[in-house]
Amino acid sequence: MSILLAVVLTLVATVITLNFSSGEKKIEHRIKPLYAVDDPRFQRSMGVLLGPPILPGNRAQVLLNGDQIFPAMLSAIRGARRTITFETYIYWSGTIGKAFADALSERARAGVKVHVLLDWVGSSKMEEAYLEEMRRAGVQVEKYHPLRWYNLARMNNRTHRKLLVVDGVVGFTGGVGIADNWTGHAQDPEHWRDSHFRIEGPAVAQMQAAFIDNWMKTRGEVLHGDDYFPAIAPAGPHPAQVFKSSPGEGSESVRLMYLLSIASARKSILIANSYFVPDDLSVQTLVEAMRRGVKVQIIVPGKHIDTQVVRKASRARWGDLLRAGAEIYEYQPTMYHCKVMVVDDAWVSVGSTNFDNRSFRLNDEANLNIYDPDFARQQAAIFNADLQQSRRIDLGAWQRRPWSEKLLERLAALLRSQL
């Protein structure tokens, strides 16, 4: 019996070790600020280091909150003629979950090839009836990393990507999950504030490739041909790229993108993020930017947040940022689930990525980067509107918080490698 117990404990310890340590080197040294975001070298570096190039000829449209986001996504699905590829982390039961299941099923019955990839953890609150409805209609539905004895070492790796591509020509990404929390217009604590983005143009093919990356890992099937990768004509004025990040590839693409963008800032950095728990190098890079004269403003959730431990861990990391001059704001009306960064009114990154270790090193993520001053100014205006509904946290108030809060925050910060 003692031998069996020892074997079991060894297996448990091995699983824990495999899940909570990546085994890969991470970026440890500061990134030198060699050029600004408006320098052609910045664009070249982003295209080479992150993988896909920045392509001209795209049109990106911002969608604010569920009242704009869900009708646009459902309209695109209902208008599909050849293919739908859909990957998401959160998919829960409810009115909007049923609407998506019905729309996807209807298109499959009409002969459209529909592929749905749901994270096993994120879709745990989804009724089995939705899956049965879609599968009966002909939708191919897969779960990403379901718990199995043979994949215990990957149970901590989730797909957090939020990708919808219709007919290979129109795509959506951003922060929204498929749940009733995102419906409405952020009018009360039960209806969250979020931004999502609709894109047309050549960068949609890169979004499609990000979906197919995980589809191959899950189903072992390659989706290709004109139904998935049609020739795409220029659709608008925005240079853009869609890149992916995955710990399975030893990739820190998302973290690298943030660090390089911050190091290249010369005027301003706006960060709107639902889970802001920066690591030491990220804090250092932000502080060095402020020493160069860069204005840093950050909006995070306030008391309305779905994960209190993240809020506490976040607040524990603010000291050096506040002392360096960062303006940190807590959004007041409801849960703030946005994931947007704007640098120097020129460079915008949006998508599924949170500013935390889980997104940087543990999850599969995908982001849309847009290099366009007009689009960046539009996002800055939206950021400033959110700022008007947020409460600024100054250094004095942060230092005067009760010792009990400080203790809980420090304890939560010990978990930040998993947050």
Bigger pLDDT: 275 vs 28: 275
Residue 49 tokens read as 């280091």
Is 217 known to be catalytic? no
The answer to whether the Cα torsion of 285, 287, 289, 291 is positive or negative is negative
The answer to whether residue 17 scores a pLDDT higher than 50 is no
Is 374 known to be catalytic? no
Q: What is the CATH number of the domain that holds 348?
A: 3.30.870.10
Does residue 308 form part of some domain? yes
Pick the closest to residue 324 from 290, 294, 358 (CA basis): 290
Identified catalytic residue from 143, 145, 160, 196: 160
Identified catalytic residue from 119, 194, 279, 344: 344
The answer to whether residue 25 scores a pLDDT higher than 90 is no
H or E element at residue 391: strand 390-393
Is 167 known to be catalytic? yes
Does residue 7 form part of some domain? no
- Strand duo 140-144 + 113-119: pairing: parallel
Does residue 183 form part of some domain? yes
pLDDT at position 148: 75
The answer to whether residue 107 scores a pLDDT higher than 50 is yes
Does residue 167 form part of some domain? yes
Tell me the DSSP string of 238-279. Answer: EEEEEEEE-GGGT--HHHHHHHHHHHT-SSEEEEEESSB---
Does residue 350 form part of some domain? yes
Residue 68: how many other CB atoms lie within 10 Å: 16
Is 337 known to be catalytic? yes
The answer to whether residue 252 scores a pLDDT higher than 70 is yes
Number of domains forming the structure of the chain = 1
State the residue range of the domain holding 52: 25-418
Pick the closest to residue 65 from 331, 419, 348, 345 (CA basis): 331
Pick the closest to residue 211 from 364, 391, 408 (CA basis): 364
pTM: 0.92
H or E element at residue 58: strand 55-64
Does residue 19 form part of some domain? no
pLDDT tens for each residue of 227-245? 999 999 999 999 999 999 9
Does residue 121 form part of some domain? yes
The answer to whether the Cα torsion of 7, 10, 15, 16 is positive or negative is positive
Q: By the 8 A CB rule, do 264 and 30 touch? A: no
Residues forming a β-bridge with 166: 84, 170
Buried b (16+ CB within 10 A) or exposed e, 376-409: bebbbebbeebbebbeebebeebeeeeeeeeebb
Identified catalytic residue from 115, 119, 337, 364: 337
What's the rounded Cα separation, in Å, for the pair 302 and 325?
20
Does residue 220 form part of some domain? yes
Is 160 known to be catalytic? yes
Residues forming a β-bridge with 88: 118
Buried b (16+ CB within 10 A) or exposed e, 230-265: bebeebbebbbbbbbbbbeeebbbbbbbbbbbbbbb
Bigger pLDDT: 147 vs 373: 373
Tokens 């293919």 -> residue: 83
Identified catalytic residue from 115, 145, 162, 191: 162
Is 386 known to be catalytic? no
Identified catalytic residue from 119, 143, 167, 304: 167
- DSSP 8-state class, residue 311: H
Q: What is the mean pLDDT of the chain?
A: 92
The answer to whether residue 372 scores a pLDDT higher than 70 is yes
- Listed in sequence order, the residues at least 6 apart from 240 whose beta carbon sits closer than 8 Å to its beta carbon are 54, 55, 58, 60, 199, 201, 203, 368, 369, 370, 371
pLDDT tens for each residue of 265-300? 999 999 999 999 999 999 999 999 999 999 999 999
Lowest-confidence segment of 70-74, 267-271, 410-414 by average pLDDT: 410-414
Identified catalytic residue from 339, 345, 356, 386: 339
Q: Is 395 helix (H, G, I), strand (E, B) or coil?
A: helix
Tally of residues, the chain: 419
Average pLDDT for 118-130:
95
